[in-house]
Amino acid sequence: MRPTIRFFPLWTLLLAMLLPWQVALARDLPDFANLVEQAAPGVVNISTTRTVERGQAFEGFGGQDIPDIFRHFFGDRFPGAPGLAPGPGPGQGQERQSLGSGFIISDDGYILTSAHVVEGADEILVRLADRREMAATLVGADTETDVAVLKVDAEGLPTLPTGDSDQLRVGEWVAAIGSPFGFDHSVTAGIISAINRTLPRDAYVPFIQTDVAINPGNSGGPLFNLDGEVVGINAQIFTRSGGFMGLSFAVPINVAMNVASQLRDDGRVRRGWLGVMIQPVSRDLAESFGMESSSGALIADLDPVGPAAEGGVRVGDIILEVDGEEVERSRNLPRLIGRVSPGNQAQLTLMRDGQREQVTVTIGDWPDSDEQRVGASDEQSAQARLGIAVSELDDTERERLGVEAGVMVREVEPQGAAAQAGIRRGDVIVSIDHHSVESGTQLLELVEELPMDRAVPVRLYREGRSLFVALRLGQD
């Protein structure tokens, strides 16, 4: 009798081959259950209340601002919806509520969160994982790093351990716990996409970029490594829809704890100050200075009595390194200088007359008043809100261009407000909101006074002709 030969479908054979591999892969994936169980008690929900004037933007679901023009579309259709009911009459105040997250850093009631979560709050309420609610006071907030410290009157609270954010690696697994759209203690996970990200409006934070799902309400919550240690504070997302799109940014915990320590001890944050106005190094500038790459920060101007000038730095120098750390882009310089404690020395590696040189500068304390900041990086302050780098015009340039005043746009951030308005590299900004721009310092002052989310006219000089563009600054 001949043996029977059985033929199995191809997909059956493939499944048999793939199954062991899939089982092994699933076995290697991280299990966050124990991490969440141990960490959840130290994560808190933060709700704030503040009074705003009638006519300002109001909030919709998840604390999102809705322009006043749309008020009549929602007020009647959703009469019971939070933030959407018709408010009081003109001139009267109305309460505005928002949600965020935070975490406990000491058992006697100190809590870390994002500064924008509690900005302008009249009342702050903290809700713990065990459903206890406590009123919190604001110890201090630093808008430059978006870090705030709260205090509740309690003892023996569960705390979260902190890790070393300087040791993070791209591709490492991380998890977040927070309150997106008010859903308390929601857990999401992903990997670190990049480290040391510098965002256009944040010169002092080397952000951690992740693909962890973060939404409104997650702000201020902790980002964990697989050891259950907090390595960052979830702070921002890049989005075109208002929700998560795969790009989330966290403040490194090393930066946050340093800020928190200063806020607790002194009530303010001291940052290093160099006293320079800088601009990016383009390819052409790099070639003209005899450099192979367009890295570093070009000194366009100096405060004559600032730390840089007193330390021997000159206009035209290019700062390549600070204490041995490379200045990859000009916008990295404020962060590198800012983390040096005032009064301490920093060694700067410069490109000067085609040669690398080193100078030692005693770092100053960042001035509190704008009047003291003349020449202290006006370009960086303007870039922070507009997304541009500028330099002042000398007499030869004014004569060649046929303008009496203005500043030259040297670089434009692709996603910045200036780029969206149509401002280009090489444009001369002559006026903003009908105010003449005479210098980089004046540009800084005008930009600081611009209204949020309202278009203002900007007069430019471009390729021999004058034109206007409409500039609109988005909400911070």
pLDDT in tens, 230-271: 999 999 888 766 677 888 999 999 999 999 999 999 888 888
Among 145, 152, 146, residue whose Cα is nearest residue 127:
152
Residue of higher predicted confidence among 104 and 334 = 104
Angle, CA 307 vertex, CA 302 and CA 310 arms, to 5°: 85
**Mean pLDDT score across all residues of the chain:** 80
The residue from 142, 146, 202, 303 that is catalytic is: 146
- Concerning whether 146 is annotated as a catalytic residue, the answer is yes
pLDDT on residue 150: 96
Helix, strand or coil for residue 282? coil
- Concerning whether 434 is annotated as a catalytic residue, the answer is no
- CATH architecture of the domain covering 165-266: Beta Barrel (2.40)
pLDDT on residue 100: 93
What is the C-alpha to C-alpha distance for residues 297 and 325, in angstroms, rounded to an integer? Answer: 13
Per-residue confidence at 52, pLDDT binned at 50, 70, 90?
low
Q: How many CB atoms lie within 10 A of CB 352?
A: 16
Its pTM surpasses 0.85: no
Which of these CATH numbers, 3.50.50.60, 3.30.70.360, 2.40.10.10, 3.40.50.10310, describes 37-84+93-152?
2.40.10.10
What is the C-alpha to C-alpha distance for residues 265 and 257, in angstroms, rounded to an integer? Answer: 12
For the segment 38-52, the average pLDDT, to the nearest whole number, is 90
pLDDT on residue 196: 87
pLDDT on residue 189: 95
Residue 19 contacts by C-beta under 8 Å, 6 or more apart in sequence? none
What is the C-alpha to C-alpha distance for residues 370 and 442, in angstroms, rounded to an integer? Answer: 11
Tokens of 387: 């997304």
Handedness of CA 400, 402, 406, 409 (dihedral sign): negative
pLDDT tens-digit readout, 84-136: 334 445 445 567 788 899 999 999 999 999 999 998 889 999 999 999 999 99
- Concerning whether 219 is annotated as a catalytic residue, the answer is yes
The residue from 98, 165, 179, 219 that is catalytic is: 219
Tell me 88's DSSP state: -
φ and ψ at residue 172, rounded to 5 degrees? -70, 145
**pLDDT higher than threshold 70 for residue 284:** yes
Tokens of 101: 């997250």
Q: Please give the CATH topology (third level) of the domain spanning 377-471.
A: Pdz3 Domain (2.30.42)
Residue type, 252: P
Q: Please give the CATH topology (third level) of the domain spanning 272-370.
A: Pdz3 Domain (2.30.42)
For the segment 3-23, the average pLDDT, to the nearest whole number, is 57
Among 391, 383, 375, residue whose Cα is nearest residue 427:
391
Angle, CA 85 vertex, CA 80 and CA 90 arms, to 5°: 160
What is the C-alpha to C-alpha distance for residues 255 and 378, in angstroms, rounded to an integer? Answer: 24
338 neighbors 344 (Cβ within 8 angstroms):
no
b or e along 435-460 (b: 16 or more beta carbons within 10 Å of the residue's beta carbon)?
eebebbbbbbebbeebeeeeebebbb
Q: What angle, rounded to 10 degrees, do the helices at 378-386 and 440-449 form?
A: 40
Name the segment(s) of the chain with CATH classification 2.40.10.10. Answer: 37-84+93-152, 165-266
Share of the chain above pLDDT 70, in %: 78
360 neighbors 347 (Cβ within 8 angstroms):
yes
Tokens of 326: 């490379």
318 neighbors 327 (Cβ within 8 angstroms):
no
Q: How many CB atoms lie within 10 A of CB 211?
A: 17
For the segment 381-396, the average pLDDT, to the nearest whole number, is 71
The residue from 47, 98, 101, 116 that is catalytic is: 116
Name the segment(s) of the chain with CATH classification 2.30.42.10. Answer: 272-370, 377-471
Residue 165 contacts by C-beta under 8 Å, 6 or more apart in sequence? 208, 231, 232, 252, 253, 254, 255
